[in-house]
Amino acid sequence: MESPMDIFPISGLNDKDKGAWKVLFDHYYPALCNYVQHMLGDGESAKDIVQEIFVNIWKSDRRFVSERELTRYLYRACYNNTLIFLRNNNIRNGILEKIGAEQSISTEELYAVTLREEVLRQLYVHINNLSPEQRKVILLSIEGYSWEEIAQKLEVSINTVKTHRSRAFKYLRSKMRNKMYLLLLW
């Protein structure tokens, strides 16, 4: 079977060549939608998730060195985004079920959910205030990459990754100390 990279080299994707992206999309989109649909059981949501991944890659400055790396990234992103989608739907459905069963959500429950979401929002605000290197390390860590993978992607040593991560955590802890305390109370 012919690979899309036989038609357009990976550099075409990295350079945002529209022809290369069309071939990429045509080659991967159906398989990725099928993969996500098996996890979700919902074809329309699967399409939305996969399209969002392609859009995010297009908007980012992410570069791929091989088709293998690209394929791993696409499937990992599909898996992670599907889990996030399921988690968010479970939370939303739980709230709707309570409302649908004419049970009122207690003020404490509503406050706890609101507080948790606000703390997460503020965490990401503080992550955006990190140095570019520290921000990249933290975001890649959140995506589940190991120190070795992060070091390879950023083309730095593992010790550099550890240093950036340590400094970023120190900064985030200082900024989030009181907010985390409030979250733990609930």
Q: Are residues 68 and 150 in the same domain?
A: no
Q: Are residues 49 and 9 in the same domain?
A: yes
Q: Are residues 4 and 82 in the same domain?
A: yes
Q: Are residues 135 and 69 in the same domain?
A: no
pLDDT in tens, 136-151: 998 888 888 888 999 9
Q: Are residues 97 and 134 in the same domain?
A: no
The number of distinct structural domains making up the chain is 2
pLDDT in tens, 96-115: 665 555 455 566 666 666 66
Q: What is the pTM of this model?
A: 0.48
Q: Are residues 122 and 181 in the same domain?
A: yes
Q: Are residues 71 and 4 in the same domain?
A: yes
Those residues with Cβ within 8 angstroms of residue 74's Cβ, 6 or more apart along the chain or in another chain: 28, 32, 53
Answer whether residue 43 shows pLDDT above 50: yes
Q: Are residues 68 and 157 in the same domain?
A: no
Q: Are residues 120 and 59 in the same domain?
A: no
